[in-house]
Amino acid sequence: MTDQHCVIIGASHAAASMAATLRQEGWEGSITMVGEEAHPPYHRPPLSKAALIGDKDAASLAIRPRDFYDAQGIVLRLGVRAESIDRQAQRVALSDGSSLAYTRLALMTGALPRRISLPGSDLSGVHYLRDMRDVDAIRAGLKPGSSAVIVGGGYIGLETAASLRSAGMQVTVLEAMSRVLQRVTAPEVSAFFTRVHEEEGVTVVTDTTVSAFHGEGTLTGVTCSDGREFAADLAIVGVGVVPDTSLAEAAGLEINDGIVVDEFARTSDTHIVAAGDCTRHYNPVYDRWLRLESVQNANEQARTAAKTVAGNPVAYHALPWFWSDQYDIKLQIAGLSAGYDEVVVRGDIAQGRSFSLFYLSGGRLVAADAINRPRDFMAAKRAVLDGSRPAPAALADESLELKAVFEG
6-20, 69-83, 135-149 — which is least confidently predicted?
A: 135-149
d(CA 171, CA 402) in angstroms, rounded, equals 38
Asked if 17 contacts 33 with a C-beta cutoff of 8 angstroms, the reply is no
Same domain, yes or no, for 124 and 100? Answer: no
Same domain, yes or no, for 229 and 121? Answer: yes
Cα dihedral 303/17/300/305 (nearest 10): -30
Reported as a pLDDT band with limits 50, 70 and 90, residue 54 is confident
Domain finish residue from 309, 336, 362: 309
Closest to 148 measured CA to CA, from 121, 127, 119: 127
317 found inside a domain: no
* Helix (H), strand (E) at residue 376: helix 374-386
The model's pLDDT over 389-402, given as tens digits with 9 standing for 90+, comes to 999 999 999 999 99
**Domains identified in the chain, total number:** 3
Same domain, yes or no, for 95 and 144? Answer: no
Res. 404: pLDDT tops 80: yes
pLDDT for res 1: 53
Same domain, yes or no, for 15 and 59? Answer: yes
Same domain, yes or no, for 262 and 403? Answer: no
pLDDT for res 334: 97
* Helix (H), strand (E) at residue 330: strand 329-335
Domain finish residue from 237, 262, 292: 237
Query: What's the mean pLDDT when you consider all of the chain?
Result: 96
Same domain, yes or no, for 51 and 134? Answer: no
pLDDT for res 59: 86
Same domain, yes or no, for 44 and 107? Answer: yes
Asked if 203 contacts 173 with a C-beta cutoff of 8 angstroms, the reply is yes
Same domain, yes or no, for 18 and 74? Answer: yes
The DSSP letter of residue 255 is B
CATH assignment at residue 398: 3.30.390.30
Domain containing 397 equals: 328-407
Same domain, yes or no, for 225 and 251? Answer: no
